[in-house]
Amino acid sequence: MSRAEPLEAVRTPSPLWTFGLLRSELLTTFRRWRTLALLGVLAAVPVLVGIAVRIETDDGGSLGGGGGGGGAGPAFISQISNNGLFLVFTALAATLPFFLPMAVGVVAGDAVAGEASAGTLRYLLVAPAGRTRLLLTKYATVIAFCLAATLVVAVSALAVGALLFPVGDLTTISGTRITYAEGLGRALLIALVVAASLVGVAALGLFVSTLTGSGIAAMATTVGLLITVQILDQIPQLDALQPYFFSHYWLSFADLMREPVYWDDLVRNLGLQALYAAVFGSAAWARFTAKDITA
């Protein structure tokens, strides 16, 4: 071993070893009680929304929103009583601004800092991983959590919607009719777009995680930055900067429920997430590869 990298092993890991590292990271992450609790909260949101809409409908109340609002939560929630599939879109719109990114921020913030806080990071580097490979494995695990968390919301909403409301052909935001099978396909595509919308937060959280040896501090900082950006995105005086905030185009997934689909904001959103992932991923790599790890 060189004196410059005392914690790195000399031999190069095999692809099989790398797969084993990723598998170990995934199992460790998804077995944590904190992760399970976050997924449980996310699964409960569609249940609460569905029950609330059902009670409101049974009482003869009217759900606000109509067909406007650019496809945000209220525009979808008014359609749930007619077709339970709209609960999927409503639940994703309700959880995306805070619950989903907060959960991702907690997992990403703890990725490296949590290992340092527990005193296990140096032992991971003694194994034939290398800092770059370990960091990529951590990021891949966080991305897997983004997908899992989004699918938990979608599947929970799909089950609750089918249980409490009628299902069948549905009307898009544009007023055209599509089959239930096509609606399911669009729901899956929307879930994938929502998951992809979180990769910027994941990279930001991973970067913050490399800056400190405290998992709690990294998680709190990531969530704090998330809340701050959300607030700034609502201030009219900052409209020139808002298109560059990672959260600005999050609700553009609703354009997938138009006929034809509006791709402009969807492409902007995915491009912006890729930019954030590249910038903060590179910053995390630069910090982590040069960091003096003692724990």
pLDDT digits (tens, 9 = 90+) for 122-162: 777 666 567 888 899 999 999 999 999 999 999 999 999 99
Q: What is the mean pLDDT of residues 24-37?
A: 91
pTM here is 0.86
Judged by average pLDDT, the poorest of 10-19, 54-63, 79-88, 154-163 is 10-19
Give pLDDT, residue 181.
93
- The structure tokens 């999050």 sit at 250
List, in sequence order, every beta strand (DSSP E) within the chain.
170-171, 177-178
User: What is the average pLDDT score of the chain?
Assistant: 85
Closest CA to 101 of 264, 225, 270: 225
Model confidence pLDDT, tens digit, residues 191-240:
999 999 999 999 999 999 999 888 889 889 998 999 999 999 999 999 99
C-alpha gyration radius of the chain: 21
Give pLDDT, residue 17.
54
Give pLDDT, residue 9.
42
Judged by average pLDDT, the poorest of 73-87, 94-108, 150-164, 260-274 is 73-87
Q: Which amino acid is at 178?
A: I
Cβ neighbours for 194, distance < 8 A, ≥ 6 positions apart: 92, 96, 100, 150, 250, 253
d(CA 7, CA 124): 9
Give pLDDT, residue 68.
38
Predicted confidence (pLDDT) at residue 15 exceeds the cutoff of 80:
no
Give pLDDT, residue 2.
40
